[in-house]
Structure 1
Amino acid sequence: MRRLGRRSLAGIAALLGGVLVLAEPAAAQSVNRDLFEGLNRQLLYVALPLTVFVEVILVYAVVKFRNNDDPLPTSKDPALEITWTAATAIILLFVFVAAFTVLASPYMSATGAAAATTQADAAPDDAVEVRVLAYQYGWEFRYPSANLTTQGELVVPTDREVYLNMTSADVLHSLYIPEWGIKQDLFPETHTYVRTNVYEAGQVRLYCTELCGAGHSRMTGNATAVSPAVYETWLATHAGEQNVRTVPTPTNTTG
């Protein structure tokens, strides 16, 4: 049994090391995705060795006792039961703390309209607000600082706080930007509020992920992140215009 235990531990270490190398993620494009991927990695590091350990014990029991025609019930072992219960409690506590720390972040938890107004007032002076209106079957993005709007084209500066104040004109919609780690429902007559900070310039796709009618599949658009200087120039160039179709070109394009 001891030899099996040593081999099991060695196998777990080797497998875990291989997974850590293979699962090393690419650089996150936003603080939201960075938080989400960090939580996934923490849970993976806990779940993987436990899974391997349980499977090793299961295989060992099947092989060792496969020809036992007269099995006996497991004898009571209070020490083992206490250890197993305590270990389970510690693992669950770790999962709770890790998940709560991430999900309670203002970048991960959406807020309602009242809280959004309060947080917007307390936002840094250089924060960017974009008002998002979803409708069947498209997206309107309004930039209050320049009084301009775009259709299906979200533009934000990199390395700055961005606040998306979102609502729906008709039915339930959901804004999803995979590369930025943003996914939030939009409701009629209600405002939801998302906070982000994009690290990397580029253009990615955005989608509606809530079935909203016959044209749901074509309710897509682009999300473009550019340097703050390029963003300010774009705002100044199109100030006061509606349904602007020209968006700045990012340094690199993904998605």
Structure 2
Amino acid sequence: MTRTRLGSLLVGLVGLALFATPVAAQPSTTAGLINSLNGKLLYVAVPVTLFVEIMLIYAVLKFRNNDEPAPTRENRRLEVTWTVATAIILLFVGVASYGVLANPDVTYTGAEEIEPSEGDVHVKTVAYQWNWRMNYQTANITELTADDIDTAVVPQAEGVEGPVIVVPQGQDLYFTTASEDVIHGFSVPALGLKQDAIPGQTNTIKTVAKETGVYQGYCTEYCGVAHSKMYFTVIVVDQGTYDEFVDSQTGSSDSSGSSSASLAAPTRLGA
């Protein structure tokens, strides 16, 4: 195989692999950032992988009957080229990764006091063996489960079991994790969310949900015999449905003598 044919084959395979990469709608800003980074890294990994594999196959086929191989000659130009190419690839990977990891929707480094803007939602998720308590810090809603939700308001809750978080589309969402006993893990894979829940410590992740729907959440740290049953559900609805949902929940709280909190009220993580 000549160098021209080999180069043409390599370019063709790379183009086919990159063209065949699917582009799907991103359900959240966090998932979009992570998937975008994965795509960029794939654009680097595919050509390198194909190049190595083609060179390997070429060497095997060309020298398979060579019983007296000659020593490889030193080629400084090739070594310099290979070293520079590797450095460029690593620099690209580092810069691309840092740009995503430094984004607050992937690594939130906010202060201990969160002050959501109007319409934003802050939910504190408290893990324990073996369940979750979902407490809204920006509304008077605590320990919400599917049984507490009026399916006439949020029809997506029909048939859902266990703890539930209902959030609006297009608003900043803050999820603070905490644990009462051992290490747990708060994770919603489809939304790109994952954060450990550590005893005596609170951690916060932030995102913006872009697509309405029902998203399954899990505990991702083995925490005991019922670990596999520690699931929960995140339901993303439009703003109008969310406002109606909050009114229905806080209205029932008001009737029992509790006062509802403003959706924009600032709270501390320890609450």
Q: TM-score, normalised by structure 1?
A: 0.86
Greater mean alpha carbon deviation, residues 5-14 or residues 166-175:
5-14
User: What pairs up with 1:161-240 in 2 under 5 angstroms?
Assistant: 161-239=172-250
Equivalent position SS for 1:68: coil
Residue deviations 1:98-145 (CA, integer Å, cap 9, x gap): 11111111111144xxx4424x23x53432111111111111111133
Instruction: Pick one of 132, 135, 140 that aligns with 1:142.
Output: 135
The amino acid of 2:171's aligned partner reads: R
Contact 1:136 1:213 in 2 (8 A): yes
Shift of 1:198: 0.5
Label 1:200 to 1:133 Cα distance change in 2 as closer, same or farther (>3 A): same
Shift of 1:240: 6.7
User: What pairs up with 1:1-255 in 2 under 5 angstroms?
Assistant: 4-111=2-109, 115-118=110-113, 120-121=114-115, 123-149=116-142, 150-151=144-145, 152-239=163-250
The amino acid of 2:133's aligned partner reads: E
> Take 1:35 and 1:145, find their aligned partners in 2: how far apart are those partners?
26
The alignment yields a C-alpha RMSD, in angstroms, of 1.7
> Take 1:196 and 1:97, find their aligned partners in 2: how far apart are those partners?
22
Residues matched between the structures, number: 235
> Take 2:179 and 2:23, find their aligned partners in 1: how far apart are those partners?
34
Contact 1:157 1:198 in 2 (8 A): yes
> Take 2:82 and 2:235, find their aligned partners in 1: how far apart are those partners?
50
Equivalent position SS for 2:205: strand
Equivalent position SS for 1:105: coil
Equivalent position SS for 1:85: helix
Identify unmatched segments of 5+ residues in structure 2. Answer: 146-162, 254-271
Equivalent position SS for 1:221: strand
Contact 1:31 1:107 in 2 (8 A): yes
Q: TM-score, normalised by structure 2?
A: 0.82
Contact 1:167 1:190 in 2 (8 A): yes
Contact 1:147 1:240 in 2 (8 A): no
Hey, what does 2:261 align to over in structure 1? none
Contact 1:158 1:227 in 2 (8 A): yes
Residue deviations 1:170-227 (CA, integer Å, cap 9, x gap): 1110011111011111011110000010001111211111111111111111110001
